[in-house]
């Protein structure tokens, strides 16, 4: 979308033509006409304002929708074209420093056929990620982000990891700012990973080693981690910052079936130029397997939201997008932030079993300690899964016994929200039942 200044004297058509010419050929005025004629046919044709896939449409006031076609061969996915396109979109592709008539440029959508085709054949699919943890079609990935972010001694940090591992979680990962700054740090966390995978024999649990800021040899780090972990998948955390995509690619080169978890740190900051859907798909294409995509609707954990009609449209759109991430973008999206113990069962019913539930505060702030918090969350999920396996409709989902509900209230001060009542009061019956038929089918 192109937004012009209110006092713009330039015509929108002229601005759009100049913008297109800048993207495809540079500053058009600097080229002689005979030099333009020597350009490749696809670029020369794209400069022609008459072609249909370069268009400008007035929306309202000084806002215009525009569409520009770029030849895909200049952005080859298998040779770094994805990074080149991202750098260009964030950088100078839509910059016209001398044109003061432009107020803002927003890129809302990018259609990239090569990327869509590549995602369809992605090897490490959400299904394979779940298989690595030996989860059936009703069990979500349960993750814990270690809190506090900073300041814990190595002993306290590892003790927290072990307590949560014993409680039944699948992934334990350091929070964003817990990064590795030296080879010594790397060795310690690889040792954590080798110990965590052995703690719980009833389920698969992995420690996600954070290589987001690691400046050593990625291949050697992954190989060392692979030799040390004797059970379950290799899990690595790479939060998406300015220098992350090459790290993601390096991890997958070293071990193609390594599972990469991520929090997209810069996604919101670049959203005006890089649409969220494109950014998610590029990260998935390069190797991200589990990621928080944003757009999760955090409901207050109280009775007011038994009738939360003002939020239902947003909630329904969010549920659809999460399913689309799994089906089309080929990564496991996570719910994180605002996951109080009383809401875990409800979120499981609304978003389904294919997502990841990454819990921090509901575990760490439990009044009876970390292990009690992890056990409580794990017990809630186990109850929810058991109910769903025996139900054909949301109407058949029972509430937990009084002991579990009392534990939620006593240990966390959060209120257990009854999924069946929430779904009924907010008229989500058909959506919920139809989604569950899809989520638990072999075709999803």
Q: What is the pLDDT of residues 142-164, one digit of tens each?
A: 999 987 777 888 899 999 899 99
Confidence band for 8, pLDDT divided at 50, 70 and 90? low
Closest CA to 258 of 135, 132, 118, 83: 132
Among 101-105, 216-220, 257-261, 324-328, the least confident range = 101-105
Asked if residue 43 lies in contact with residue 24, where contact means CB atoms within 8 angstroms, the answer is yes
Assigned CATH for 119-439: 3.20.20.110
φ, ψ of residue 41 to 5 degrees: the values are -60, -40
Tell me the pLDDT tens digit for each residue of 83-116: 888 988 888 887 765 556 778 888 888 989 999 9
Residue 395: what pLDDT? Answer: 94
pTM of the complete model: 0.91
Higher local confidence (pLDDT), 1 or 384? 384
Asked if residue 146 lies in contact with residue 161, where contact means CB atoms within 8 angstroms, the answer is yes
Confidence band for 42, pLDDT divided at 50, 70 and 90? confident
Residue 193: what pLDDT? Answer: 96
Boundaries of every domain in the chain: 2-106, 119-439
Whether the predicted pLDDT of 24 surpasses 80: no
Cβ neighbour number for residue 178 with a 10 Å cutoff? 21
Asked if residue 444 lies in contact with residue 327, where contact means CB atoms within 8 angstroms, the answer is yes
Residue 115: what pLDDT? Answer: 92
**Residue 130 structure tokens:** 């779940």
What residues contact residue 340 under an 8 Å CB cut-off, 6+ apart? 301, 361, 362, 412, 414
Q: Mean pLDDT in the chain?
A: 88
Asked if residue 160 lies in contact with residue 146, where contact means CB atoms within 8 angstroms, the answer is yes
Closest CA to 399 of 426, 421, 432, 430: 421
Residue 302: what pLDDT? Answer: 52
Whether the predicted pLDDT of 63 surpasses 90: no
- Helix (H) or strand (E) run with residue 156 in it: helix 154-167
**Residue 106 structure tokens:** 């927003």
Tell me the pLDDT tens digit for each residue of 219-241: 999 999 999 999 999 999 999 88
Among 292-296, 331-335, 348-352, 374-378, the least confident range = 292-296
Whether the predicted pLDDT of 430 surpasses 90: yes
Higher local confidence (pLDDT), 43 or 324? 324
Residue 437: what pLDDT? Answer: 95
Confidence band for 12, pLDDT divided at 50, 70 and 90? confident
Q: Determine the 3-state secondary structure of 246 from DSSP.
A: helix
Q: How far apart are CA 118 and CA 328, in angstroms?
A: 11
Burial class (CB in 10 A: 0-12, 13-18, 19+), 247: buried
Q: How far apart are CA 339 and CA 361, in angstroms?
A: 8
Concatenated DSSP letters for 201-212? SSS--EE-EE-T
Q: How far apart are CA 103 and CA 404, in angstroms?
A: 55
Tell me the pLDDT tens digit for each residue of 112-140: 999 999 999 898 999 999 999 999 999 99
Percent of the chain whose predicted confidence (pLDDT) is above 70: 91
**Residue 69 structure tokens:** 């076609």
Q: How far apart are CA 238 and CA 233, in angstroms?
A: 16
What residues contact residue 256 under an 8 Å CB cut-off, 6+ apart? 123, 124
b/e sequence 46-67, b meaning 16+ C-beta within 10 Å: bbeeeeeebebeeeeebebebe
Q: How far apart are CA 294 and CA 444, in angstroms?
A: 22
């Amino acid at each position: 979308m192109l937004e012009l200044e209110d006092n713009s004297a330039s015509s929108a058509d002229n601005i759009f033509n100049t913008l297109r010419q800048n993207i495809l050929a540079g500053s058009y005025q600097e080229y002689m006409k005979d030099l333009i004629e020597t350009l490749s046919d696809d670029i020369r044709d794209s400069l022609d304002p008459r072609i249909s896939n370069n268009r400008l449409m007035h929306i309202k006031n000084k806002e215009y929708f525009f569409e520009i076609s770029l030849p895909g061969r200049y952005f080859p996915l298998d040779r770094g074209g994805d990074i080149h396109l991202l750098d260009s979109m964030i950088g100078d592709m839509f910059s016209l420093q001398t044109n003061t008539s432009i107020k803002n440029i927003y890129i809302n959508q990018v259609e990239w056929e090569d990327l869509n085709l590549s995602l369809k054949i992605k090897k490490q699919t959400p299904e394979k990620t779940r298989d690595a943890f030996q989860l059936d079609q009703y069990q979500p990935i349960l993750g814990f982000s270690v809190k506090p972010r900073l300041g814990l001694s190595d002993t306290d940090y590892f003790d927290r990891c072990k307590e949560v591992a014993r409680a039944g979680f699948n992934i334990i990962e350091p929070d964003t700012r817990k990064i590795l700054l030296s080879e010594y740090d790397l060795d310690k966390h690889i040792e954590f990973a080798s110990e965590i995978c052995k703690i719980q024999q009833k389920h698969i649990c992995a420690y996600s080693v954070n290589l987001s800021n690691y400046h050593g040899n990625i291949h050697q780090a992954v190989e060392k981690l692979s030799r040390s972990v004797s059970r379950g998948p290799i899990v690595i955390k790479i939060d998406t910052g300015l220098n992350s995509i090459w790290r993601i690619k390096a991890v997958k080169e070293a071990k193609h079936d390594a599972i990469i978890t991520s929090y997209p740190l810069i996604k919101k900051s670049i959203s005006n130029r890089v649409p969220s859907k494109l950014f998610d798909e590029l990260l998935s294409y390069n190797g991200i397997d589990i990621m928080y995509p944003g757009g999760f609707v955090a409901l207050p954990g109280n009775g007011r939201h038994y009738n939360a009609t003002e939020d239902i449209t947003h909630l329904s759109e969010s549920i659809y997008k999460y399913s689309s991430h799994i089906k089309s973008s080929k990564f496991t999206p996570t719910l994180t932030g605002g996951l109080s113990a009383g809401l875990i069962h409800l979120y499981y019913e609304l978003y389904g079993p294919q997502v990841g539930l990454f819990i921090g505060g509901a575990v760490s702030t439990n009044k009876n300690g970390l292990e009690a918090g992890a056990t409580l969350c794990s017990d809630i999920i186990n109850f929810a899964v058991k109910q769903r396996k025996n139900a054909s409709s949301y109407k058949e989902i029972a509430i937990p016994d009084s002991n579990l509900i009392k534990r939620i209230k006593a240990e966390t001060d959060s209120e257990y929200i009854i999924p069946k009542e929430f779904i009924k009061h907010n008229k989500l019956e058909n959506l919920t039942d139809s989604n569950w038929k899809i989520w638990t089918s072999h075709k999803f």
